[in-house]
A and B are shown apart, each in its own frame.
Chain A
Amino acid sequence: MIGILLATFSAAVVEWVEAYTIILAVALSIGWGRALGAAGAALGALAVLTGLGSFALTRIHDLAILQLVVGVFLTLFGVRWLGKAVARGAGLKKLHDEDAEFAELRARRDINEAKAAWFIAFNGMLLEGLEVWLIVVALGVQTHHTLIAAAAAIAALAAVAAAGVLIRKPLSQVPENTIKFVVGSGILSFGTFWVLESLGYAWPLGDFTLLALFVFYGLGGLALVRLYAPKAKAKVA
C-alpha cells in the first residue's frame, strides 16, 4: 500500500506542478476566480472519470483479465515516463522548464481573451490530471485501494496549491525529471508484475519481485543515462 501511496503522490505532484504553471499564467490574465473556476471544472470532470473508470474495471470479474488490462496500461505509462526521464537525464531532450513554459503561455495572444483563457486553464488541468487519473484508477482498482490512491492525488494537489500560494510563481525548483524517473520505474514494475502474472507466470520472489523490478528498472535507467550522455554531449558539440 505504501508503494501505491508514494507512486500516486509523486506522479500527481509532477502533473499538478505543470497544471499550476498553466493556471498561474491564465490567472494573471483573467483573474484567479475564473482561472480557479476552470481548474475546478476540470477536477470535477476528472472525479467523474475516476468514478466511471473504477466502475468499468470493477465489472471485470476475472482477476487475470483485470490484471492484464491494468498491467498493460501501467506498462504503457511506465515505459513512456522512464524513456522520457532517461532522454532528459542524458541530455537528449531538454529538461521540462516551468519558467520557460510559463513565459511561452504568457506570450500567447489568446490568453488575454476571457473565453480562450478559460479553456486553456480547463484543458491544461484536464490533460495533466488525466495521467493522475490513470494511475489512481489502475493502481487503486487492482489493489482495492482506489480511495487511498485518490486521497494521495488530492494530498499532492493540496501540497502544490499551498506551495503555489506561498511562492506565486512557477514551481521550477521541483525536481520533475528525478520524480518522473523514480515513478516511471515504479509504475513499470507494477505493470510488468501484473502483465506476466495474468499470463500465468509465477514470480519466484512473490510480491518482493516488485522491489526487485523497481531496482532493476532504476539501475537500468541510470545505466542508459550514462550510455547516452556522451552521445548527447557530442551532438551538442
Chain B
Amino acid sequence: MNGFIKTLFGDKNTLLVAGLSILIAAGLLRTPAHELAGLALPLCLLAGAGYLARR
C-alpha cells in the first residue's frame, strides 16, 4: 500500500514542489499578468526538480 501511495503521489518534497508550482501559476492566472503563468509553471517545476535532485 505504501508503494502504491508513493507511486501516485511521491514523497512530501515532491508534493511540495508540484503543489507550490501549481499554486503560483494558478495565482498568476488571476492577475493582470496572467500570460506569465505559462512561463512561471515550467520555471517553478524545473527549479523544483533541481531542489529534489539536491535532497
Residues of A within 8 A of B (CB): 72-73, 75-80, 82-84, 86-87, 90, 92, 123, 126-127, 130-131, 134, 184, 188, 192, 195-196, 199-201, 203-204, 209, 213, 216-217, 220-221, 224, 227-228
Size category of the B interface is: 20 to 34
Chain A residues in 8 Å Cβ range of B14: 76, 79-80, 83
A-B contact pairs, 27 of them (CB 8 A): A75-B45, A76-B8, A76-B9, A76-B15, A78-B45, A79-B10, A79-B18, A79-B45, A79-B49, A83-B14, A83-B55, A92-B53, A123-B3, A130-B3, A131-B7, A134-B8, A192-B42, A196-B37, A201-B25, A204-B38, A217-B42, A217-B45, A220-B46, A221-B49, A224-B49, A224-B53, A228-B53
Which residues of A lie under 8 Å from residue B45 when comparing CB positions? 75, 78-79, 188, 192, 217
Nearest first, the 5 A-B pairs at minimum CB distance are A83-B52, A87-B53, A86-B53, A130-B7, A82-B49
Main DSSP-derived SS at the B contact region: helix
In the bound assembly, the distance between CA atoms of A87 and B54 in angstroms comes to 7
Min Cβ gap A61→B in Å is 22
- Asked if residues B17 and A79 are in contact (CB atoms below 8 Å), the reply is yes
